[in-house]
Amino acid sequence: MIKGGPKTDLQVKHHVQSILISQPKPETEKSPYYDLAKKFNVKLDFFPFIRVEGLSAKDFRKQKIDILNFTAVIFTSRNSVDHFFRVCEEMKIKVSQDCKYFCITEAVALYLQKFILYRKRKVFYGADGSTKSLLEVMNKHRDNEKFLFPSSDSQKKDIEEWLKANKCEYATATLYKTVSNDVKEILSTKEYDMIVFFSPSGVRSLFENLPQYQQNGTRIGAFGPSTSAAVEEAGLRLDVKAPAPQAPSMVAALEQYLSELNKK
C-alpha cells in the first residue's frame, strides 16, 4: 500500500514476494515471467501504467510532413513502428524499398519484419540498446540521409538534439501519444515489494496518479536507459536495471537480482 511509514531495514532486506509489472499481462502462458514466478515463488501482477493512442491521418497531415521526402526512419520502440506503418497505410503511402531504418535495439529491428522485407543492408541497430550506440551507427550515415523520427508526444530529446547538433536533415513526426492509466486502485489496495517500469511515461503515470508517492522499502526496476534516468530523476532508488551485459532482458535482470537476494 502507499500509505504508512517507512519500512524497517529488516523489511527492506526481506525476500521479494510480490512484483507489479507495469505492462499488459502476457498473451501466452509460455511467457518467461511465469517461469520466473514459479522458480522464485513470487506473485506477479500485470497492470499497464500507460496506454498509447494513435493520431489520425487527419491530425498527422496538420504537421505538414511528407514521409516520402525522407530516406531514413528512426525507430525507438515497437509503438513507433506500428504507428508509422499505420499512418502510411491510412494515407496510402508506399515507402520506398531503398528506405533505411535505424532502430534502438535488435528486437525493434526484427519487429520490422511484420511490415517490410528485412534486409540487413537497410536495417541498422545499436549494439547494446542504448541511445549512444544508436547514434554511433547513425553517425556513419548522417551526411547521406534525410531522417524522419516518428515518435510519441514525449520523444527522446537526446536524439533530436543530436540530429540538430550534427546539422542533419531531419523532421520529427508525432504519430501517437501516451496517456496515463488510473493505477490508484491497484496501488492502494495491494502492497508490492517491487514495481517494474518500462518507459519514462510509466514513471510519470505513477506520480500523476499519486503525487505524494513515497517509495519507502519498495524496490524499483527499470528497463532502458531513459526509464532508469526517469526513475532517478523522480527521486526514487533504482534497484534493478536492464538491459545489462549479463542481463539483456528485464526477466534476466530480475532473475539475477532475486538469485542474489535469496543468498542473503
Q: Report in angstroms the alpha-carbon separations of 228 from 42, 72, 159, 200.
A: 23, 28, 17, 8
Same domain, 136 and 76: yes
87-116, pLDDT tens digit by residue?
999 999 999 999 999 998 888 999 999 999
**Would you say residue 5 has pLDDT above 80?**
no
221-235, pLDDT tens digit by residue?
999 888 999 999 999
What proportion of the chain, given as a percentage, has pLDDT over 90? 73
Same domain, 206 and 255: yes
**Is 108 inside any structural domain?**
yes
Could you please report the per-residue DSSP string of 104-150?
SSHHHHHHGGGTS---TTTEEE-SSSSHHHHHHHHHTTTTT-EEEEE
**Average confidence (pLDDT) over 4-26:** 69
Average pLDDT in the chain: 90
pLDDT at 9: 40
Q: What is the CATH number of the domain that holds 168?
A: 3.40.50.10090
**Average confidence (pLDDT) over 6-27:** 73
pLDDT at 156: 64
Residue where one domain finishes, among candidates 178, 200, 219: 178
Same domain, 57 and 174: yes
**Would you say residue 61 has pLDDT above 80?**
yes
What proportion of the chain, given as a percentage, has pLDDT over 70? 93
Same domain, 155 and 202: no
> In this predicted structure, which of 7-11, 174-178, 206-210, 213-217 has the lowest mean pLDDT?
7-11
191-210, pLDDT tens digit by residue?
999 999 998 999 999 999 99
**Is 255 inside any structural domain?**
yes
**Is 5 inside any structural domain?**
no
Query: Into how many domains does the chain fold?
Result: 2
* pTM confidence score: 0.71
| DSSP-assigned letter for residue 83 | H
pLDDT at 14: 61
Same domain, 119 and 166: yes
**Average confidence (pLDDT) over 238-245:** 92
Same domain, 216 and 153: no
Same domain, 58 and 150: yes
Residue where one domain finishes, among candidates 178, 209, 240: 178
**Is 1 inside any structural domain?**
no
pLDDT at 7: 40
Closest Cα to residue 231, out of 253, 252, 200?
200
- The residue segments making up the domain with residue 230 are 18-49+181-263
Residue where one domain finishes, among candidates 126, 156, 178: 178
Tell me the β-bridge partners of 177. Answer: 53
130-140, pLDDT tens digit by residue?
889 999 999 99
Same domain, 138 and 218: no
Same domain, 174 and 109: yes
**Is 10 inside any structural domain?**
no
**Is 11 inside any structural domain?**
no
Helix (H/G/I), strand (E/B), else coil: 216: coil
User: How open is the CA angle 74-78-83, to the nearest 5 degrees?
Assistant: 80
